[in-house]
Structure 1
Amino acid sequence: MNTLDTSIIISTYNSTKWLEKVLYGYNNQTYRMFEIVIADDGSTQETKELLDRMQKEVFYPIVHVWHEDNGFQKSQILNKAIVKCSTPYIIMSDGDCIPRKDFVEQHVKYREEGYFLSGGYFMLPMNISEKITKEDIYSEACFDVHWLKKNGLKASFKNNKLTSGGLKASLLNAVTPTNASWNGHNASGWKDDIVTVNGFDERMQYGGQDRELGERLVNLGIKSKQIRYNAVVIHLDHPRGYKNEASIAKNQAIRKTTRDEKKKQTDFGIVKK
């Protein structure tokens, strides 16, 4: 038995159809020394049943961290999931992001003490999201631009995310105007660093709570590395019923304080001050 050295936190809420596809993506990984920790923000029994069934089918252990549904409390459930991670390194992604087969391998390859890694995602429209089968995931067809175009994907510079490897990926990472921020859908760092900044700020609901965690890591002296063209996930479409302006405004004010006061820790995180 290989020793596990990586924990992957996947956040989910009542989205079993998408979560199943994501779990098949992790079953297709070239790097296999990881556990999956599901951060479940109050889903019904259907999610637990899916995880019980998938555990019989996949090679990796699944840890299901659940709390009761109390509205959008992603920061709270992520903190509970962080505590449950049994390895020194944590990758975070979402239950609507299917990883390419080298996704975990890329995070492991580029991880380094004193850094966190910032990946990107490739958004798919609903019609293609629904078409993707288990076979399309295992064969990697759903990461193939020709297959996606055949199924209605439009031409775009963003398609480079799916066709970049090696040198091209390094060049695009170097020139991208996007900040190497902590992204909830595709980022990774050392558990010790995440615990040192006290995890996510649980006052924050939808909008930027992942970025704020990254800002505290930077205040702590952790640098960020851009790997958006190396570590690829495709993002399945879904409605965002939880998106609201009041929550976003509140979070922006918290982030401003974090930056202005160079805060390294939140008082509203894993440990309540």
Structure 2
Amino acid sequence: MQLSVIITTYNSPEWLEKVLWGFEAQSYREFEVIIADDGSGEPTHALIETMKATVSYPIQHVWHEDIGFRKCTILNKAIEASQTDYLVFTDGDCIPRKDFLQVHASRREKGHFLSGGYFMLPMSISREITKENILSQDCFRLSWLKAKGLPASFKNSKISVKGGLAEFMNAITPTKATWNGHNVSGWKADILAVNGYDERMRYGALDRELGERLMNKGIKGIQIRYSAICIHLDHSRGYKNTKDINFNKGIRKTTAEEKRTWTDFGIERTHRFPNDPVEQPA
């Protein structure tokens, strides 16, 4: 294996199944999947067991008890469980195009991380996508998406451009290369060198903060948003709130102002923080 793919999930087995079929369709085959599960219930566990016996790639299920939003904690556990030196991160609502991992594998470069994006779908189309649509790659064809009701938009070019045109778009896009948890990859050694994700972080740009520490350490981002394509399935965000977003902004502000390259609240935990949840022993 050359890549470890870390997929976050929480109680969304229908969407997670579609994502796992997306990895079955990959042209690049030297990878493992690690599902970073922030406390999902039995339906997700049952799905993963079924998929383990069905798909052609190995799956690890890294789970902890549901005692609140702890996405960064389960991500750190998944990083520790990974068995390769290069890690690709995505979410359990993002279906990868068949060349997704080939792009990440071929473009990886020492001293850098790769920064991709996603193509957002409405709920109506998200629900319609089937295993067959994923394996045939119909769900990545604009003609198919438009037939299902996708409105015309300049943003549709993100899913349709390829080859040299995709590279040109990567070069001219004003969007900066940042650490985006839905589509990003980097060297495990670099991630460990900044101590992984800050486990104080709640919902709201929690991924970006890790990337900002990497950049403070001299690790540069490479833009691949028009080359490494995934489609984002729609869902509600009941966990989103202003308090948590502002809390995260405060941590990111400190990281920027002090040019921090390390968090004391990551994989190597040297500090605890107020109201830090503690799992009960099994």
Q: TM-score, normalised by structure 2?
A: 0.95
Q: Return structure 1 stretches of 4+ with deviation > 3 angstroms.
A: none
1:75-86 aligned at under 5 Å gives the runs: 75-86=72-83
In structure 1, how many angstroms separate the alpha carbons of the residues matched to 2:106 and 2:161?
16
Corresponding residue number in structure 1 for 2:238: 241
What is the Cα deviation at residue 161 of structure 1? 1.1
Find out whether 1:38 has 2:35 as its counterpart: yes
Q: Which residue of 2 aligns with 1:151?
A: 148
Report the 3-state secondary structure (helix = DSSP H, G, I; strand = E; otherwise coil) of the residue aligned with 1:51: helix
CA distance in 2 between counterparts of 1:6 and 1:186 reads 14
- Segments of structure 1 that go 5 or more residues without pairing to the other structure are none
Q: TM-score, normalised by structure 1?
A: 0.98
> What is the DSSP-based 3-state SS (H/G/I as helix, E as strand, rest coil) of the residue aligned with 2:134?
helix
Name 1:99's counterpart in structure 2: 96
Question: 2:54 matched to 1:65?
Answer: no
Deviation at 1:17? 0.3
Letter in 1 for 2:104: H
Deviation at 1:23, TM superposition (A): 0.2
Residue 53 of structure 1 aligns to a residue whose secondary structure is helix
- Which residue of structure 2 aligns with residue 219 of structure 1? 216
Q: Please report how far the alpha carbon of residue 180 of structure 1 lies from its aligned counterpart in structure 2 after TM superposition.
A: 0.4
Aligned ranges 1:194-213 → 2 under 5 Å = 194-213=191-210
Report how far residue 146 of structure 1 moved: 0.6
Q: CA RMSD in A?
A: 0.5
Partner of 2:275: none
Q: Tell me which of 22, 27, 49 is aligned to 2:24.
A: 27
Whichever residue aligns with residue 269 of structure 1, its letter is: G
Alignment counterpart, residue 187 of structure 2, candidates 186, 190, 193? 190
Separation in 2, partners of 1:261, 1:166: 40
Q: Within 1, Cα distance between the matches of 2:22 and 2:37? A: 19
Q: Which residue of 2 aligns with 1:171?
A: 168
What is the Cα deviation at residue 101 of structure 1? Answer: 0.2
Residue aligning to 2:276 = none
Kindly, what percent of the aligned residue pairs are identical?
61
CA distance in structure 2 between the aligned counterparts of 1:99 and 1:229, rounded to whole angstroms? 13
Residue-by-residue CA offset, 1:158-194 (whole Å, 9 max, x unaligned): 1111111111111111111111000010000000000
Whichever residue aligns with residue 184 of structure 2, its letter is: A
Deviation at 1:57, TM superposition (A): 1.0
CA distance in 1 between counterparts of 2:138 and 2:91 reads: 21
Partner of 1:49: 46
| 1:209 positional shift | 1.0
Letter in 2 for 1:165: K
Q: How far has the Cα of 1:72 moved from its partner?
A: 1.3
**1:252 aligned residue (246, 249, 253):** 249
Cα distance in 2 between the residues matched to 1:14 and 1:238 = 12
1:70 CA drift (Å): 1.4
Q: Distance in 2 between matches of 1:59 and 1:176?
A: 36
SS in 1 for 2:202: coil
- Report the CA distance between 1:196 and its aligned residue: 0.5
SS in 2 for 1:225: strand
Moved more, 161-170 or 85-94: 161-170
